[in-house]
């Protein structure tokens, strides 16, 4: 006996509803890794970090590799602020950045708004 149309529609809505909820639950984390080095030494690796707030490196870093599906903002301060006369840096999805010695080491990062 084939399933009725209303029952099939109800099952479809339930399946896609659960799928939609699982997708929105993942929106609070960046999918992938961020790796930070000082010279050739690996300092930090962040796996699937939360996209909200400021993230500190455990020490100043010279290289940042963004292997997430989100864009980063890099800062020379530990609290994700740009000091007077200073600058931050935008790092795109899948990008890498090497700090310019004149700006100082990267000390924190946040995620750029979409």
Per-residue pLDDT reduced to its tens digit, 10-59: 555 454 444 444 444 456 888 999 999 999 999 999 999 999 999 999 99
Q: Which residue in 114, 113, 102, 108 sits closest to 34, CA to CA? A: 108
Residue pair 67/31 in contact (Cβ under 8 Å)? The answer is no
98 is written with which tokens? 């090497």
pTM: 0.72
Q: For the domain 30-111, what is the CATH code?
A: 2.60.20
Residue pair 105/76 in contact (Cβ under 8 Å)? The answer is yes
């Amino acid at each position: 006996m084939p399933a009725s149309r209303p029952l099939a529609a109800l099952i479809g809505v339930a399946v896609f509803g659960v799928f939609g909820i699982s997708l929105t639950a993942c929106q609070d984390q960046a999918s992938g890794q961020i790796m930070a080095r000082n010279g050739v030494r690996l300092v930090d690796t962040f796996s699937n970090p939360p996209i909200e707030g400021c993230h500190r490196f455990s020490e100043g870093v010279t290289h940042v590799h963004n292997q997430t599906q989100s864009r980063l903002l890099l800062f020379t301060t530990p609290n994700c602020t740009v000091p007077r006369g200073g600058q931050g840096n935008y790092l795109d999805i899948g990008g890498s950045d090497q700090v310019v010695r004149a700006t100082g080491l990267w000390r924190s990062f946040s995620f750029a708004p979409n």
